[in-house]
Amino acid sequence: MSVVIIGAGHAGTTAAAALRKFDKDIKISLFSEEGSIPYQRPPLSKKTIFSDTQNYDLILGKDFYNKNAIQLNLNSAVKEINPVQSYVRFNSKEIIEYDQLIIATGTKGYELNIPGGELAQTLYSINDAQKIAKSISKAKKIAVIGGGFIGCEIASGARKQNKEVTLLEAGASILGRSVAPIFAKSVSKYHHSQGINILTNCKALSINHNGIETTSSIISADLVIAGIGVTPNIKLAVEANLDIDNGVLVNEYLQTSNENIFAIGDIANFPFNSDSGRLRLESIQNASDQAKTVAKNIIALRNNQQFQSYTPIPWFWSDQGDLKLQMAGVGNLNAKHHVLENQTDGTLTVLHLVEGQLVAIDTLNHGLNHICGRKLLSHKKPILIDDIKRFKGDLKSLVKELN
């Protein structure tokens, strides 16, 4: 039996390791268009670009692949999937056949489509990080376009290096799409107190070697970094005629519209009880958990056993200066927000509630509440605000009572 995996990011690599754990005989071929042994992306924006970029964090040990008979093909972009004859082509002639295929091609950054947009550096790969690290070490004034998690991490790290930092956000608030407004406000206040100049409702119009012209002012900068979001890498899947809609559509077993092709990680759009009934996540939790589920399902397919559904409690983290942000669950447009009482200095916990029921939780420097929040969200019975109020915001005691 042969499994081919396209993409050796967190999802593809974890799937390879999980498959090997479950079955020592499967032939596993992992293709990466990058040249580096698979590495972790989260540290890139948190520490790599501010440090010696030769030391980056691998996902698995560099000998893992050889030792576990996983054929890791670096610098080997897959060019075509042939779903009819079940093979992938990775250069002009070479093909490799599969019984099952896993697409884990992740995302690519949006291009900054403004005059001079090419002058802005972007961060996705270790190569980008090495380039940005060099530029940061030389720069005095840095402008970061995009107030999402990655933009905020880059801005706060650069500020810690005593750079003059401006953070531009087109929306009304940083982290506007990701956390409760009151939570975003608190993070924004912190960055402001550290000396980051945050400009909201501010769009970059053009970039030149002196900085950025925006809708409200001219910002002087000798380095511009853009973190304006990513889009799923769907080219191969489109050409293979798989069903697509904001990523590759998969069922609850992570199977695409072709039963022998699975999709996982940032690229997979899976069924979920959300506003649209589906979700595509960009997180390590999702990449890693989907990888383990898909490995189980491929083994199940082989042994004629039942598939396992992917039913996550999504969670995510971001490190920004002295702040650790941890988010669990999925908020929605109708959610109301409730700040927990009894917070000690520098911590914050915000609950997202829909019709009085807990659907997500954002915590700032409060790992315990984050873990408790995940336990509450995964509890079989819905957790109501009245339950939480009964314990005066002491989530640990509530978890204890429920167990």
Ligand X SMILES: Cc1cc2nc3c(=O)[nH]c(=O)nc-3n(C[C@H](O)[C@H](O)[C@H](O)COP(=O)(O)OP(=O)(O)OC[C@H]3O[C@@H](n4cnc5c(N)ncnc54)[C@H](O)[C@@H]3O)c2cc1C
Main-chain phi, psi angles of 232, to 5 degrees: -65, 145
Rounded Cα distance between 245 and 268, Å, is 10
Of 16, 150, 167, 219, the one binding ligand X (CB under 6 A) is 150
At closest approach, how far in Å is the CB of 356 from ligand X? 29
Position 121 contacts ligand X (CB under 6 A): no
Nearest 5 degrees, angle CA 301-CA 303-CA 308? 50
Q: State phi, psi for 46 to the nearest 5 degrees.
A: -95, -35
Q: Confirm if 49 and 24 have CB atoms less than 8 A apart.
A: no
Single out the residue of 17, 28, 34, 242 in contact with ligand X (rule: CB under 6 A): 34
Which residues neighbour 373 within 8 Å (Cβ) at sequence distance 6 or greater?
Answer: 328, 329, 349, 358, 361, 363, 395
Position 105 contacts ligand X (CB under 6 A): yes
Which span sits near ligand X by CB under 6 A: 30-38, 94-102, 111-119, 355-363? Answer: 30-38
> Judged by CB under 6 A, which stretch of 5-13, 113-121, 205-213, 336-344 contacts ligand X?
5-13
Distance separating alpha carbons of residues 196 and 371, to the nearest angstrom = 30
Binding of ligand X at residue 59 (CB under 6 A)?
no
Distance CA 225, CA 139 (A): 12
Q: Which of 5, 6, 72, 143 binds ligand X (CB under 6 A)?
A: 6
| Interacting residues of 165 by C-beta distance below 8 A, sequence separation 6+ | 141, 142, 143, 144, 155, 158, 159, 195, 196, 197
Q: What is the DSSP letter of 283?
A: S
Smallest gap from residue 154 Cβ to ligand X (A): 8
Query: What CA–CA distance (Å, rounded) separates 363 from 355?
Result: 21
Number of residues that bind ligand X (CB under 6 A): 36
Residues 158-197 that bind ligand X (CB under 6 A): none
CB of residue 169 to ligand X, shortest distance in Å: 18
Per-residue binder mask for ligand X (CB under 6 A), 282-321, x = binder? xxxx-x----------------------------xxx---
Residues 143, 219: Cα–Cα separation, whole Å: 8
Residues 214-233 that bind ligand X (CB under 6 A): 233
Helices 395-402, 367-377: axis angle to 10 degrees equals: 30
C-alpha–C-alpha distance, residues 256 and 103, integer Å: 9
Of 32-40, 59-67, 211-219, 352-360, which segment contacts ligand X by CB under 6 A?
32-40
Sheet-wide strand order for 121-122: 121-122, 223-226, 141-145, 164-168, 197-199
Q: How far is the CB of 386 from ligand X (least distance, A)?
A: 32
Residue 237 interacts with ligand X (CB under 6 A): yes or no: no
32 binds ligand X (CB under 6 A): yes
- Letters for 85-104 (x = contact with ligand X by CB under 6 A, - = none) are -------------------x
Output 225 or 340, the one with its CB closest to ligand X: 225
Cβ 286 to ligand X shortest distance, Å: 7
Binding residues for ligand X, rule: CB under 6 A, are 6-12, 31-34, 41-42, 44-45, 77-78, 104-107, 123-124, 150, 233, 236, 265-266, 282-285, 287, 316-318
